[in-house]
Amino acid sequence: MRAMAPDADELAGWVTDACRRSIELVADLDDDQMVGPMLPTVNPLIWEIGHLAWFQEKFVLRDACGQSPILAGGDALYDSGAIPHDTRWHLRLPSRERTVEYMRTVADRVARAVTRSDATDVVRHFARYSVHHYDTHTEALTCTRQNLGYPAPRLPGLTDAEPPEGARAGDLPGDVESAGGPFLLGARMADPFVYDNEKWAHQVDVASFVIARAPVTQAEFAAFVEAGGYSDVRLWSDGGAWLVATGAAHPVYWRRGPAGNWRRRHFDTWVDLEPQVPVSHVCWWEADAYCRWAGRRLPTEAEWEYAATGGGRSRPGYPWGDAEPDAKHAATDWRSLGPVDVAACAAGESPDGCRQLIGNVWEWTASDFRAYPNFERDAYHENSEQFFGSRKVLRGGAWATRGRYLRSTMRNYFTPERRDVLAGFRTCAEVE
């Protein structure tokens, strides 16, 4: 049995919380920072937060509830499917104050709509859809702050939040062996909420394999760098063109310290590498090259989901069961304001002993992002279909991902060169 859907009051709370958190994530930035440089991996933040409210208004208030638009001309400003990426820096957008007022107005109306006694399942479904759209973008806002070297966000309410259990618990070496066999990959129709790319569960055959108990650490990846991994063309396969084009010699946010040691940039601050923290902000090509150097490989997404569900024996929502992620189970929801040790969150282990399959860092898999055989497109057509065949699948979530957004069947997807994502990986191998 999967986790239950939120009731109307909880969903209304999610709506309010999602809006508030997105505002908090940019509250300390000045007007120039709210626009920022034109880069292919970011949006102007002032546009992005307005887009979140527009999306929620369109799908919930306008389409599901039949209400008139709150913001005249909003479609011409915030429709991401119609407005080219670079154009977003040249639009005449509402002021910051008006944008925030618009966000709060939409969220307040949606929260009221879902708690009405006559609210339909369609209204509540799209309200939840819009909350998770917020969740996707609030993680993106966090990545943008990292990418642009802005300070770490100040998030009220997290100062005294319970940190992930065992945040500095050390490393977790070793593998888990999985027997494999027939396995149902993907979401079931009884699941309370899934995206179209998770539809629907279908049988695959998984051969026996071993998978690392934990993601690759910064110390382990530093050994790859020190061994000349970025200069050994034999390790890079199709990633050789990316390597030549970028001139990469180490992860994007790393540099040498005064004593020759490696340091990493955490938002606007340089810190020494924490050996037991998972490597993050590496692209798929870097993960693939490391695996080849280590005599391993990336797991397929079927192997990853098999490990997360114990081969589907009870089909829980999470590796540990159906209890939603908290500080004992996973590093999520900005509790740590950064990644934690790979041995943290012992209560979140999978049935076979893998840890942090949910939270801390997203994990690259070997799989291309493609439609499942019985794919059904969502009402939001732009969500998945346009990206099939051009991206790689990531699984699991990160420290800045909302716990309510995650589940064992969740598929994330980015192009293989992306290094701005909160992404690491764990390794896999055949059974000898």
CATH of the domain at 201: 3.90.1580.10
Domain membership of residue 254 (yes or no) is no
- Residue 4 vs residues 74, 111, 113, 323, 324: alpha-carbon distances, Å: 35, 19, 21, 10, 10
Higher per-residue confidence, 339 vs 163: 339
Q: Are residues 67 and 179 in the same domain?
A: no
Mean pLDDT within 190-202: 95
Q: Are residues 75 and 190 in the same domain?
A: no
Domain membership of residue 250 (yes or no) is no
Mean pLDDT within 224-246: 94
Q: Is the pLDDT score of 396 beyond 90? A: yes
Instruction: Indicate the number of domains in the chain.
Output: 2
Q: Are residues 186 and 141 in the same domain?
A: no
Nearest CA to 181 out of 354, 349, 303, 352 is that of 303
Domain membership of residue 154 (yes or no) is no
Q: Are residues 74 and 189 in the same domain?
A: no
Q: Are residues 142 and 179 in the same domain?
A: no
CA distance 317 to 125: 18
**Domain end call among 95, 128, 147:** 147
Structure confidence at residue 432 (pLDDT): 79
What does the pLDDT look like over 290-324, one tens digit per residue?
999 999 999 999 999 999 998 877 778 999 999 99
Strand-pairing partners, residue 269, are 266
Domain membership of residue 261 (yes or no) is no
Strand-pairing partners, residue 297, are 428
Pair type for strands 209-212 and 175-178: antiparallel
Mean pLDDT within 96-116: 98
Can you spell out the DSSP letters for 25-88? TTTT--HHHHH----TT---HHHHHHHHHHHHIIIIIIIIT-PPPSSTTHHHHH-TTTS-TGGG
Q: Is the pLDDT score of 1 beyond 50? A: no
- Largest alpha-carbon pair distance within the chain? 66
Mean pLDDT within 248-269: 97
Structure confidence at residue 91 (pLDDT): 98
Q: Are residues 340 and 410 in the same domain?
A: yes
Q: Among 13-27, 74-88, 99-113, 157-171, where is mean pLDDT lowest?
A: 157-171
Q: Are 255 and 270 in contact (CB under 8 A)?
A: yes
What does the pLDDT look like over 415-424, one tens digit per residue?
999 999 999 9
Structure confidence at residue 3 (pLDDT): 58
Q: Are residues 133 and 186 in the same domain?
A: no
Q: Is the pLDDT score of 166 beyond 90? A: no
Range of the domain at 366: 175-217+280-430
Mean pLDDT within 109-120: 97
Structure confidence at residue 158 (pLDDT): 67
Mean pLDDT within 406-413: 97
Higher per-residue confidence, 308 vs 169: 308
Q: Are residues 75 and 188 in the same domain?
A: no
What does the pLDDT look like over 117-151, one tens digit per residue?
999 999 999 999 999 999 999 999 999 999 999 99
How confident is the prediction for the chain on average, in pLDDT? 95
Domain membership of residue 66 (yes or no) is yes
Q: What is the CATH number of the domain that holds 101?
A: 1.20.120
Q: Are residues 206 and 136 in the same domain?
A: no
Could you tell me the pLDDT band of residue 2, with boundaries at 50, 70 and 90?
very low
Q: Are residues 292 and 386 in the same domain?
A: yes
Domain membership of residue 1 (yes or no) is no
Could you tell me the pLDDT band of residue 68, with boundaries at 50, 70 and 90?
very high
Domain membership of residue 16 (yes or no) is yes
Q: Are residues 318 and 423 in the same domain?
A: yes
Q: Are residues 324 and 384 in the same domain?
A: yes
Mean pLDDT within 235-263: 94
